[in-house]
Amino acid sequence: MKQSLLQKVFLLFFLLLFVGGSLASSLTPAPAVAQADTPTATATATATATTAASALAVTAVQPNSVSNLVDTELVVTGSGFVDGAVVVLSGMGGLNTTFVSASLLRANLPAGTTPGGYSIAVINPNAASATLPNALTVTAPAGPTNTPAPTNTPAPTAFVRPLLVVNSYGASSAEIAPGENLAFEMTIANAGQSRASNVVVTFVAGNFTARDTGGVQALGIIDPGGTVRFWQPLAASRDLAGQSIGTLEVKVDYTDVNGTTYSETFALTFPVKRVATGGAAPTATPTATATATATSGPILRPQLLVTGYEVDQEQLEPGMGFTLNLTLQNQGNADAVRVTMILGGGSTTGGTVDGTPVPGGGLDGASGDFGKFAPVGASNVQTLGDLNQNDSLETSMALIVNAATEPGAYPVKVTFVYTDARNNSYEDDQVITLLVFKRPSVEMNFYTPVFDFFVGQPGSLPLQLVNSGRGTAVFGNFSVNGEGATFENNSFFVGTLDPGGFFPLDAVIYPEMAGPLDLVLSVNYTDDFNQPQILTKTLTINVIDAPIFEEPIDGFPEEPFPEVVEEPETFGQKVWRFVLGLLGLSSGVPQPAQPDFGVPSDFPIDGPVDVPVEGPVFGP
């Protein structure tokens, strides 16, 4: 019992000791050093936050008006953005944000956002924020009009059609300066229920003028819910000076699966940079510090133009090879670096266009049309090097005309891809025109061999024209001429000649001098451009002096006849003549033999000729 009481006394003592120590610790004041450190930390954090907040700013949002039918990408420009910054829509919350640079953020605005006006705020990870009031307007499409159905008429079926809307658009500059070139980006979405085909986008000239493409782009097919994003270089009009907003009118034409045509017109707006019209003027401030107002200067960029071109053939024909020579000049106000020529048209798939980044990389030179003209010996892409301001250079490319090319005038697209000193990339598309002819294939020659001609004597020229081509040809006059001679019957109209057909020309020539004489054969026709043309060929004949027969002045010498020697008559001959006389036959004295001057029938006979008949001669 005593021991139990003693234990209780000791336990009560230690309990009182522990309670007293705890009360003493809670009543002890904090050290003075801790009180001095707290204000210093707060002041440092506040100064840091204030500095970050002062560097952060939101200047523009593109597009500033969107439809809530589909998701839309917003481009927020400003300064002071850091990786991890979030775009916040007033009254709605943060958006899915992608950090691009310290001056550019991309945010996704979901479909179904409540229509109305919104302020856009950007919040950095350090809690610094900046807000642009009334930066975005969200609209809803107009609902269908309820039209009462006629009595006793069945209800129509649901109307299904494609519907193209602008998903997003933007420019390479947050504010557009009058007279500058810019790159325009646009995304078109199909909010309808069927496929949109043959989509063609036309940029209507006004405050902005389309460059390079002629203001027309073909986008092809857009399926329901699908989007197509494309770029279009633009030039801002100088008439925008003094205006606050510039309007770009974009017309979109397309068809559905049944061929029904639809058309939409969009008016897209851009803020215009204010440009001072006078010199810099001081602006009064509370601190009496003069502030100069800057005046925007000219846009510096290279500009390449084809100032001349020619081919090394007189006329281009199907299947003919030729060399195309181009003269190029930099007429801009900056140097062009790494110039590349793409014949047939092409583009760059990377780098920047007017300073705006483009995904991908390389050159696309295979998308051109090479059905009429094709490169030979090298590709259609050539590197030309650098071209300084106002300088010119000449380049050439070997080509061939396709054998199946029909006669006509064919435009050829030439694209120049280059950069400037700031590594901004440019594309200049230009068009030249090449003419293709198809001359008739003919053969002009003699159809029989000819020999030497005599001076002053008429000679026959057996000529002919042959159509050696594979098609029917229509010819005009076929003629022959030459210097140093006169001609007769030397020109005739030919008309239509079938393949393999011929036309003869038998002309008469009177040469005037001896020696080689060139005959110029020609036939005229009308080419495929309704222009008169002439085909010629030269043949050479030989002319000699005509032979001259002159009679001698003293006449021709007379040749003496051979002397006839008479032989004495023998006694036997006399007896024989006597006998012949008795018989009543010729008994005259035999005449001597005459010399042989040939067969009488070989000489002309002017009158009768007596030929003596000799009788037999008997000897002893």
Mind listing the pLDDT tens digit for each residue in 197-210? Answer: 999 999 998 889 98
45 DSSP 8-state letter = H
Looking at residue 46, what is its pLDDT?
40
Q: Are strands 515-526 and 425-436 parallel, antiparallel or unpaired?
A: unpaired
CA distance 456 to 545: 8
Q: Residue 314: its pLDDT value, please?
A: 87
- Residue 564 confidence (pLDDT) above 70: no
How far apart CA 348 and CA 426 sit, in angstroms, is 9
Look up the pTM and report it. 0.40
Q: Which two tokens stand for residue 218?
A: 């073909």
Q: Above 90 in pLDDT, residue 242?
A: no
| Residue whose C-alpha is closest to residue 537's, from 437, 442, 438, 439 | 442
CATH topology of domain 164-271: Immunoglobulin-like (2.60.40)
The token pair that represents 254 in the structure block = 């397309």
Of 53-62, 91-100, 197-206, 494-503, the one with minimum mean pLDDT is: 53-62
Helix (H) or strand (E) holding 401: strand 392-401
17 three-class SS? helix
**For a pLDDT cut of 90, what percent of the chain falls above it?**
35
Q: From the centroid of its chain, how far is CA 525?
A: 32
Q: Which residues pair with 327 in a beta bridge?
A: 308, 394
- Cβ atoms of 103 and 85 within 8 Å: the answer is no
Task: Indicate the residue type of 255.
Answer: T
Which superfamily does 304-436 belong to?
Immunoglobulins (2.60.40.10)
**Which sequence spans correspond to the domains of the chain?**
54-139, 164-271, 304-436, 442-544
CATH 2.60.40.10 fits 442-544, yes or no: yes
Q: What's residue 551's pLDDT? A: 64
Lookup result for tokens 């000897």: 619
The answer to whether the 54-139 and 164-271 domains have the same CATH topology is: yes
Is there a cis peptide before residue 63, judged by omega within 30 degrees of 0? yes
pLDDT in tens, 9-51: 667 766 666 655 554 444 444 443 333 343 433 333 343 434 4
| Residue found under tokens 């004597």 | 457
Tokens of 403: 């054998």
The tokens for 3 are 């021991």
Question: Residue 462: is its pLDDT beyond 60?
Answer: yes
Model confidence pLDDT, tens digit, residues 105-161: 889 888 888 898 999 999 988 888 899 998 899 888 765 555 555 555 554 445 678
pLDDT > 70: what percent of the chain?
73
Q: Is the pLDDT of residue 487 over 80?
A: yes
Question: Is the Cβ–Cβ distance between 397 and 324 less than 8 Å?
Answer: yes
| Distance in angstroms (rounded) separating the CA atoms of residues 238 and 255 | 36
Give the gyration radius of the chain's Cα atoms.
Answer: 56
CA 493 from centroid of its chain's CA atoms: 42
Q: Is the pLDDT of residue 98 over 70?
A: yes
Angle at 359 between CA 298 and CA 96, to 5 degrees: 100
Whether the CB-CB separation of 93 and 298 falls below 8 Å is answered with: no
Q: Would you say domain 54-139 falls under CATH 3.40.50.2000?
A: no
3-class secondary-structure state, position 548:
coil
Contact 437, 315 (CB under 8 A): yes
Strand partners, 218: 200
Least confident of 148-157, 418-427, 516-525: 148-157
pLDDT greater at residue 321 or residue 579: 321
